[in-house]
Structure 1
Amino acid sequence: MVRTENLTNYHSHSLYCDGRANMEDFVRFALSGGFTSYGFSSHAPLPFSTAWTMEWDSMDDYLAEFRRLKARYAGQIELYIGLEIDYLNEESNPSIARFRELPLDYCIGSVHLLYNDKGEVVDIDVSADKFRTIVNKEFGGDLMRVVHLYYERLMRMVELGGFDIVGHADKMHYNAAAYRPGLLDEPWYDALMQDYFNAIARKGYIVEVNTKAWLDLGTFYPNERYFPMLLEKGIRVQVNSDSHYPERINNGRLQALAALQASGYHTVTERYNNEWKDMPLIINT
């Protein structure tokens, strides 16, 4: 199997959560696109039901279907199984034993949810317009507080561990900057990001460059402005599409690789032979 062009992806959703196709459809698209390494990362179960996460009673089927696909496509593509696990609270996060005991190849740690003043769970992974409404309705219009709550949860997730990859590391940035233009240039926000990436660097996690929003919003997560900061801190990176549709698994990959290269990166982290390896960053347009 020739490994070229960094044709890999480890953030992918299927019908087991909020993806729009079965796992085998993603494998077929990956093969047709020349991918050499591909991983599944369904949204892990939460303590309550949602429209976008797995249920625990689907876990055995999820793992069994992966084993079937891994055997069927052996020699054609390296397949890996993971979960995208939310930090919700101290009882539900990537570090808890129930997740650690699963036979997974890797995990992604993410934050999609906050608690409002009433202790109610609020989904802040929404459009910019919905985000504005949520900030005003649930948090009294205090954007700075929402941003701090978000990064406090991410920092706690980083501290507790139980995952390999930081998912869409600063996904808050787009909606927050839409709510308050110029936010990313404010000194307090830059200091927050410095502390956040310092914590990631100390723990040695991989940061994905998430390309899901590239075609629609023209941004990566983390924001491209932070790529030099990541490099300076010695943080390993990889490019993932966070795709919910098979035909989108390659979206934004070349643009992300080019942006990383322009920032000084020469390698990206990929999984081969069940190990994370730093592979040369290669761009063939």
Structure 2
Amino acid sequence: MQIKGDFHVHSNYCPHGTNDSMEKYIEIAIKHGFKHLSFTEHAPLPEGFIDPTPDRDSGMRWDEVDDYINEISKLKEKYKRFISINVGFEVDFIEGYETETKKLLDRFGQQIDDAILSVHMLKAPNGEYVCLDYSLEEFKRITDLFDTIDHVHKAYYHTVVNSIKTDLGLYKPSRIGHITLVNKFSKTCKPINDYKKEVMTILHLMKEQQLELDVNTAGLYKEHCGSIYPNIDLLEEAGQIGLSLVPGSDSHTYTHIGRGFDLLPSTLNYSIPRK
């Protein structure tokens, strides 16, 4: 089935991304033949939460959000004859900051078209918050905090389950992002268990709550991963239980729009996000 768009895209508003203009993203998407494009920029982190990354660059600044939304609104109009553009967020689910995250969604929910709920941050046993996917060196440090690689995986999947179950209000995102992100460094930091049972639990829970799955090709191009998030076997399981599969490149530069889509199983049906 032909993929109609790229629905997980970061822009020049991403502090750890690119300076490429959003017009470049749009033009390359049109060149690929896409009819849809979702900008899902990293939303500002919850008020009161201190970004654990060294450069504190995990999300966009609060004072940039209006400019981000306004710029995409203008581009929607400019390119409406060629492509449908969504303004959206990738929202972090952080245990302990559920109320603040709901406030963020309530504040901007009416102004956005699309959103993804993702887990990047974990709360370690010592109470420290860590960013799971920052670097291999940081992942090894995180492993020490949790004692074992498997404890990191268990904590990650537990947090993903909580993100699905938690009531974040009327504007809670309907799509769950890169549900196996914890595997980003798995070629080097390999857990003992495969965690298929945990992922299947998540997929069935998503189906119960009518949530969409972010079919994220970025992991294919990570040195220590080399796999779609989730992998093809799990993706086919998701398709069999009837989950909506929404493809996203997780691009942080315009040249990565649609990257890896040709490697997705052609036997599956891919959806556009519901409004």
CA distance in 2, matches of 1:78, 1:88: 31
SS in 1 for 2:154: helix
Equivalent pair of 2:232/2:265 in contact (CA under 8 Å): no
- d(CA) in 2 for partners of 1:181, 1:153: 17
CA contact (8 A) 1:31 1:76 kept: yes
Q: Give per-residue Cα distances to partners, 1:215-272, cap 9 Å, x unaligned.
A: 34431001112123212322110211000010111210011143xx1xxx2x21115x
Over the residues paired in the alignment, what is the CA RMSD in angstroms? Answer: 2.2
Q: How many residues align?
A: 258
In the other structure, the counterpart of 1:282 is none
Matched, 1:9 2:3: no
Quick one: distance in 2 between partners of 1:93 and 1:19?
28
Q: Give the AA of the match of 1:268.
A: Y
Q: Which residue of 2 aligns with 1:76?
A: 82
Residue in 2 that maps onto 1:183: 193
Corresponding residue SS for 1:214: helix
Deviation of 1:181 after TM superposition, in Å, equals 5.7
Q: Aligned AA for 2:161?
A: M
Contact 2:8 2:247 in 1 (8 A): no
1:203 alignment partner in structure 2: 209
Q: CA deviation at 1:193?
A: 1.9
Give the Cα–Cα distance (whole angstroms) in 2 for the partners of residues 164 and 95 of structure 1.
Answer: 15
Q: Gapped runs of 5+ residues in structure 2?
A: none
With the length of structure 1 as denominator, give the TM-score of the two structures: 0.83
Matched with 2:92 is 86
Query: Which residue in 2 is equivalent to 1:214?
Result: 220
Q: How does 1:272-283 map to 2 (within 5 A)?
A: 275=274
**2:145 equivalent to 1:143:** no
Deviates more, 1:50-59 or 1:190-199: 190-199
Give, in angstroms, the shift of residue 90 of structure 1: 4.1
Q: Does the Cα contact within 8 Å between 1:173 and 1:223 map onto a contact in 2?
A: no
- Output the CA distance in 2 between the equivalents of 1:226 and 1:44: 28
Mapped partners of 1:168, 1:193: distance in 2: 11
CA offset at residue 119 of structure 1?
1.6
Aligned to 2:119: 111
Q: 1:182-237 CA distances to partner (integer Å, 9 max, x unpaired)?
A: 632xxxx2322222212111111111210112234431001112123212322110
Does residue 270 of the first structure (1) align with residue 272 of the second (2)?
yes
What does 1:248-267 correspond to in 2, within 5 Å? 248-258=256-266, 261=267, 265=268, 267=269
Unaligned 5+ runs, structure 1: 277-285
Do residues 157 (structure 1) and 163 (structure 2) align? yes
- Identical aligned residues as a percent: 25
In 1: Cα distance, 2:118 partner to 2:107 partner = 19
TM-score (norm 2): 0.86
**Bigger shift: residues 34-43 or 232-241:** 232-241
SS in 2 for 1:39: strand
Aligned partner of 2:30 in structure 1 is 31
Higher relative contact order (CA 8 A, sep 6+): 2
